Amino acid sequence: METKFREKLSAINLHYKIWMSDKKDAGILGDGKWQILKLIDQKGSLKAACDELGYTYRRTWGDLKKIEKFFGFPLLEKHRGGHEGGKTVLTEEGKRLVNAFDQFHASVDAMIQKGFESFIENLK
């Protein structure tokens, strides 16, 4: 029995999500919204970012508006059509929020990975 248990330890993958909420537990920012903001920044399009992640445009737009309302600054600048078509870019505040979450996530990822490794060691 002990040997089978030890063999299973190497088959365990760690998954987790990070999100932040207000005092009433309403979601503010988390992995999903962070990813959509990063993709908007890369692709220059909210629609393209939604399509890639399989998110609905309408719900995502509403979620981003809630973040803007909470923080009190716009996340996106929309530039309509024209010869080359429209584009959506992050505002400077939006970029700062994404960068801060990037750094926060990297720090938390390292701590969680260390804790996970300790968990596996304690089971051996």
pLDDT at position 84 is: 65
Which residues in the chain land under pLDDT 70? 1, 82-85
Q: How many Cα atoms sit within 13 Å of 7 on the Cβ side?
A: 4
pLDDT at position 6 is: 80
Tell me the domain boundaries of the chain: 2-123
Global pTM value: 0.85
How far is 43 from 59, CA to CA, in rounded Å?
19
pLDDT at position 16 is: 95
Phi, psi of 74 (to 5 degrees): -75, 145
How far is 5 from 9, CA to CA, in rounded Å?
7
What percent of the chain has a predicted confidence (pLDDT) above 70? 96
What CATH number labels 2-123?
1.10.10.10
